[in-house]
Amino acid sequence: MTWLDAWLAQTAAARHDAGLHRTLRPRGEADRVVDLASNDYLGLARDPRVVAAGADALRAWGAGSTGSRLVTGSTRLHAELEEALAAFTGSEAALVFSSGYTANLGAVTALTGRGALVVSDVAAHASLVDAARLSRARVEVARCADPAAVDLVLAAREEPRALVVVDGVDSVDGGIAPLAELHAVCRERDAVLLVDDAHGLGVRGPGGSGTLAEAGLAGAPDVVLTTTLSKSLGAQGGVVLAGSAVVEHLVDTARPFIFDTGLAPAAAGAALAALGIVRAEPERVAALHAHAASVAASARAAAPGLEVPTPTAAMVPVVLGDPEPAVAAAAGCAEHGLRAGCFRPPSVPAGTSRLRLTARADLTPDDLALVDQVLHKVLGPIVAGR
């Protein structure tokens, strides 16, 4: 046995003992479950108009983009999508990446580097954490829900450049970052604010235009917006939205943009069609929030004694503590036709393993009735046995 075999066996056993083993569970193309685990917040991933636009792009441009964006990977669709995203979010310019993860890596690393400071929120998404680590900048972790804490870090810095990175909507519990207050601190301290709005686009702000628009910061010169095309827009890919000078800088310096194959045209075409639907049908955003409130009410009734917050975005967290009851609850939901997200460390802090139930705009009254029934069947016994 090599050191690799021994090490893999040891670490796998430790994960099993801690309840942190994960298994891939491929779903069928038409499985009959009510899905409260996906990020398809507006129900557009299977919308016939979105699917048709993706298929049209596939026929017109082929299966792949054939190269990096700077070689052969930029198509007319990419340019149209960038223009539409910039207009929708109130940004000056946009640059599409192959994923939201690479968008964050590209933006943070290209805008910082040695001699800069990155102030990262304590609950920042893994892509922002990894970007900060790769940036070679000095990194300080702060609780960005407390702008005064960020101000203390910025006030003590010696670096000439500083970037504060935060999720507009927390990916686990749906909390909204105090962006107006954070921006005021950043402007006072000559720092730039980068907001990852992966869970805010299509969910918050006027017509779903995002948390920056909601905070009155759309298009601000000292703000950078990143988001994904794989959640509310139901497609795939990521984008950085900022001033033209920032976008030009990223084209020249962002390694995940320069060296990665461009986003597949089918995804670009689908995302462009989805964005058009969001603009034309703002009632989808209202339906999402109404359904999230309904799911939260069912969870509260099913699990008395557990705190289920009033949802401010699509997600409804039900904190169960240790990994085992969270895994058992997700499995129990699945047995009754309800797919629920299960979040355990390292996705959440130890002791806060949970179900993360994500509402969608296209849930039907029958779907919501089943959600209520299943949560009562599953959560009641688990809570009673605590």
pLDDT in tens, 69-108: 999 999 999 999 999 999 999 999 999 999 999 999 999 9
Q: Which residues pair with 139 in a beta bridge?
A: 118
Q: Which domain holds residue 52?
A: 48-280
Residue type for position 264: A
What is the reported pLDDT for 109?
98
How many independent structural domains does the chain possess? 2
Exposed (0-12), middle (13-18) or buried (19+): which is 69, by Cβ within 10 Å? Answer: buried
| Boundary residue ending a domain (280, 310, 333) | 280
The pLDDT confidence band at residue 32, using thresholds 50, 70 and 90, is: confident
Nearest to 229 by CA among 4, 39, 28: 39
The pLDDT confidence band at residue 306, using thresholds 50, 70 and 90, is: confident
Residue type for position 174: G
Mean pLDDT score, 246-259:
98
List C-alpha distances in Å: 198 to 50, 157, 195, 209.
19, 29, 9, 11
Least confident of 22-36, 38-52, 137-151, 282-296: 22-36
On whether residue 287 sits in a domain, the answer given is yes
DSSP code at position 184: H
Mean pLDDT score, 248-269:
98
Is the pLDDT at 21 greater than 90? The verdict is no
Is the pLDDT at 61 greater than 80? The verdict is yes
Mean pLDDT score, 157-165:
98
Q: Are residues 197 and 293 in the same domain?
A: no
Q: Are residues 301 and 268 in the same domain?
A: no
User: How far apart are the C-alpha atoms of 127 and 78, rounded to whole Å?
Assistant: 23
**Which phi and psi angles does 203 have, rounded to 5°?**
-125, -45
Q: Are residues 257 and 316 in the same domain?
A: no
* pTM of structure: 0.93
Omega prior to 311 cis, within 30 of 0: no
| Boundary residue ending a domain (280, 308, 342) | 280
Q: Which two tokens stand for residue 215?
A: 């905070």
- Number of residues written out for the chain: 386
What mean pLDDT is reported for the chain?
95
Is the pLDDT at 25 greater than 90? The verdict is no
Q: Do the strands 238-242 and 223-228 form a parallel or antiparallel pair, or are they unpaired?
A: antiparallel
- Percent of the chain past pLDDT 90, that is, above it, reads 87
Least confident of 88-102, 114-128, 318-332: 318-332
User: How far apart are the C-alpha atoms of 324 and 333, rounded to whole Å?
Assistant: 14
Domain with 149 in it: what CATH number?
3.40.640.10
What is the reported pLDDT for 349?
87
